[in-house]
Structure 1
Amino acid sequence: MTDAAVAPGVEELGAAIARCRLCRDAPRGGPQFRLPHEPRPVAVISGKARILIAGQAPGLRVHETGLPFNDASGDRLRDWLQVGRQEFYDADRFAIVPMGFCFPGYDAKGSDLPPRRECAPHWRERVMAAMPQVELVLAIGQYAQAWHLGPARGRTMTETVMDWRRHLGRNEQPAILPLPHPSWRNTAWLKRNSWFAEELLPELQKRVKTLAG
């Protein structure tokens, strides 16, 4: 990787995010809006990485360890990218900034809740402004796709990912590549949509090799 100077404000922004308690202290009332734990923001801000991994929100294991994608979903994502853990956690190669920085808890069915609504409006524009060197955003899941693609996204996550060539071809900076979440819950989706592995993943791996190799 190059020895480019760290962008101004990156370290300060990372420290501010680590101190954030916005979702805990939001005056929304009622226990249903409260986190089931003390917030532990998890994000990797980088002044050098040219790829930004934009996920949804940390799961419980990530909350416990403080390491993004430190779970089975991360193993699948690293397989998609064709990188090992050492490369993946190299902040000179990858910035990792989810739409919600803290584990939001579980719903009544035991599934992870969506990212907290307070997080992205407060932080996202500052995060993007602090990393002008980013050339490719991997928008993982519908929440990241909604923010990074806006009205250009499809009606469903499947439609959005299927239209990946158009999104990459919009000549915007940074480029946006939509991906499904690498959760085990999407295993059936991956089997039904063989084009993902056959067509999209080779393009993803080529760009990762170019930008983070």
Structure 2
Amino acid sequence: MLNPLLEQIRMCTLCQEKLPLGPRPIISAQPNSKLLIIGQALGSVVHKTGIPWDDKSGENLRHWMGISANDFYNEEITALVPMGFCYPGKGISGDLPPHPECAETWHSRVLQQLPSVSLTLLIGNYAQNYYLRATKKSTLTKTVKAHNEYLPSYFVLPHPSPRNAIWQAKNPWFKTEVLPRLKEEVAKALAEIN
């Protein structure tokens, strides 16, 4: 049963001593979710609001996907499962990496309860390293460039942070090749609902 598992996750304190703002695990899913989004860890804004992807990165991601906020936040449609369920704190050049205990402890149990998922988005290096393992390319850019190789199971993306605007400018193929294919795959997954 997914709901009791989600309650367990929301009460998790595995990394408590490592979290500068304390534990606040945030996850959103239902057994009939069609889309699964696996990102990195929560940011400080999400820690405060309790709403996943409640920031500029989330706006960018929804734009990339061609999906409304209503569909994005509808658990019956979209499951939001970060690699780290809590805010890990600030590092030298951005937020710290997600604590590995989250994925190791919870991910396989959550994914077993999501039988209807038809498309999984792996966003950023942490998700791609964990799920793609040996099939991941030597860099995130090469992995994203080879996005077709991971379909139909996974769609690989860079993090949609505004800080990645420079990466996008250096890789114009992302907007012309990857994003249209992403919108097409998301639309296909959403069509299964109707």
Matched, 1:24 2:8: no
Aligned residue in 1 for 2:114: 131
Equivalent residues in 2 for 1:171-210 (5 A)?
A: 175-210=153-188
Deviation at 1:212, TM superposition (A): 2.1
> 1:102 is matched with which residue: 86, 109, 114?
86
Matched, 1:93 2:77: yes
Deviation at 1:81, TM superposition (A): 0.9
Q: Give TM-score scaled by structure 2 length.
A: 0.95
Matched, 1:15 2:7: yes
Distance 2:189 2:93 in 1: 37
> 1:167 is matched with which residue: 125, 132, 150?
150
Distance 1:143 1:137 in 2: 14
User: Quick one: structure 1 residues 72 and 94, their matched pair in 2 at CA, closer, same or farther if it must change by over 3 Å?
Assistant: same
Letter in 2 for 1:189: W
Deviation at 1:147, TM superposition (A): 1.4
Aligned residue in 1 for 2:132: 149
User: Quick one: structure 1 residues 162 and 110, their matched pair in 2 at CA, closer, same or farther if it must change by over 3 Å?
Assistant: closer
Question: Rg: which structure is higher?
Answer: 1
Q: CA RMSD in A?
A: 1.2
Aligned residue in 1 for 2:45: 61
Deviation at 1:97, TM superposition (A): 0.1
Distance 1:145 1:192 in 2: 21
Contact 2:32–2:115 (Cα < 8 Å) also in 1: no
**Percent identity over the alignment?**
41
What is the SS of the residue equivalent to 1:52?
strand
Distance 1:160 1:91 in 2: 28
Distance 1:136 1:46 in 2: 15
Alignment: residue pair count: 191
| Gaps in structure 2 of 5+ consecutive residues | none
Distance 1:148 1:80 in 2: 21
Distance 2:104 2:127 in 1: 12
| Gaps in structure 1 of 5+ consecutive residues | 1-8, 26-33
> 1:39 is matched with which residue: 23, 27, 48?
23
Contact 2:62–2:68 (Cα < 8 Å) also in 1: yes
What is the SS of the residue equivalent to 1:22?
coil
Deviates most, 40-49 or 59-68? 40-49
